[in-house]
Amino acid sequence: MPTTYGAPPKSVTYEFVDLRNGRWETRIHIVDDDGGVRDMSVSYRRDGQANSGSGYAGEGDTAAVNSPAPNVLVMSLARDKQLESVRTYAISADGLEMTESAADVDDNGVPFVRNFRFARARS
């Protein structure tokens, strides 16, 4: 991961909501280390087609989503019609953990992949 990526946030919460009729919504709530909040969401079908997002757009304003396996979600993010990153979300067999792998390039155009592990929030 590039050193310019910055300090990790205080917390990140993902919510994957079944909107029915084949539509889903991913909602992301980030609380930064300094207490700032970023919220974003995108509604989509898992068909690989582009969908506009809402809220914070620093990581992308449009997303295309596909699900090659029941526990895997692939999300391509673009901003201003340019690729920003590709994210893969994999859920563990017991459903208690999610790993996000994000592929991008640093400021010098050098590719990298970073991984983050998330634990399911207790309801």
Residue 50, domain extent? 3-119
Helix, coil or strand: residue 88: strand
**Mean pLDDT, the chain, as a whole number?**
93
Q: Is the pLDDT of residue 99 over 80?
A: yes
Residue 102's pLDDT band (cuts 50, 70, 90): very high
Note the pLDDT of residue 5.
64
Q: Is the pLDDT of residue 1 over 60?
A: no
Note the pLDDT of residue 93.
96
8 Å CB contact between 55 and 36: no
User: How many of the other CB atoms lie within 10 Å of CB of 44?
Assistant: 23
The CATH number covering residue 95 comes to 2.40.128
Total tally of structural domains belonging to the chain: 1
| Per-residue tokens: 117 | 């592990």
* pLDDT tens-digit series, residues 40-93: 999 999 999 999 999 999 999 999 999 999 999 999 999 999 999 999 999 999
Q: What is this structure's pTM?
A: 0.89
**Nearest-angstrom CA–CA distance, 5 and 58:** 13
